[in-house]
Amino acid sequence: MNDHFTITINDDNGVKQYNMHYIVKRAILYALSFLGFIALIAVGTILYLNYSVDEIEKKRQNTQKSYNALKRKNDELDQNMKGTLLALSNKKRELDEVSDSLSEVEKMMGLSPVRDMSLQQRVNLTKVNSQQMTTLLQLIPSGSPIEFKGITSKFGYRIHPTLNRREFHRGLDMRAKMNTPIYATADGIVEWAGFHKKSGYGRLVILQNNYGFRTYFGHLNKVVVKSGIFVRKGDLIAYTGNSGMSNGPHLHYEIRFIQRAVNPFYFVKWNVKNYKEIFDKEKIIPWQSLITATAQIRVVKPTKTLPLLQQEQQ
């Protein structure tokens, strides 16, 4: 059995032959096969690693994109939170200002809020009381019937300017030029509208208001309402003049409660800002009973005397 093989090499130096054993041949073949296998594995590994690196790079890029998107969202959220905190801070400051203003209104109304009472509860309570205030100021004479220019004769005892004797003056003589507009100071029915010879007030308008009140407007030049009609607070009723026992143009303004004259000055100055003062200054009127009587009444569209509206606009 031939167990050798010959390798022939031709080159410039001639022909060379090498006799080798088959075992060497097998070893070389095995070695070449092993190297080829190793090379195949290496190539496969390299390809796999390249693929893995590409996948990892893609994941890294996706992760970076996600991170950037999340960072943008976090930045937006941070800005929103800052805006929300700023808005909350502004709202808190506004609520503090509202609470302070509400405290002033409560003080004016004579309210003493409970310590644990919420702002909404305080507002509701104030709203109820403000509605009652509006009702009283609508139904009971309040505000000036003319543009306030001062008083020429006060309520109380005086020397009558034409009779020249001491007697009780039941109202206020309010300074006014001829034909100054006069407005109702409370809702009511016109009880008298015309010349009133017996009283000496000349042309006179008497309004029968609510809860026992009456308002008198004397020494008028012209009356624009008729007896029996209903007028609302702020309606034009007459113009000032010098009729009757008068020594010059002015308005005699008088308020009576159950036929008893009361000082009109407190009522002329009575408004929301000094709402409680009249309760202490005019004690002959049972204010608590009036407040109780009007507790369930709500004026839908409250009105004001025109002079008061003009004063507020100024």
> CA torsion 95→96→99→101, rounded to 10°?
-110
Percent of the chain at pLDDT exceeding 70 = 81
Torsion on CA atoms 266, 269, 275, 277, rounded to nearest 10: -40
Lowest mean pLDDT segment, chosen from 68-72, 231-235, 273-277: 273-277
Q: How high is the pLDDT of residue 136?
A: 87
* Mean pLDDT of all residues in 2-14: 67
The matching CATH number, chosen from 3.80.10.10, 2.70.70.10, 1.25.40.10, 2.40.50.140, for 138-313 is 2.70.70.10
pLDDT at res. 213: 97
Domain ranges in the chain? 4-71, 138-313
Q: Residue range 82-101: average pLDDT? A: 80
Among 9-23, 115-129, 132-146, 288-302, the range of highest mean pLDDT: 132-146
Strand partners for 4:
21
Give the Cα-Cα-Cα angle 222, 226, 232 (nearest 5 degrees): 95
For 16, list phi and psi in degrees, rounded to 5: -125, 140
Which stretch, 2-6, 9-13, 86-90, 120-124, has highest mean pLDDT?
86-90
Burial of 209: CB neighbours in 10 Å, binned 0-12, 13-18, 19+: buried
pLDDT of amino acid 264:
95
pLDDT at 314: 46
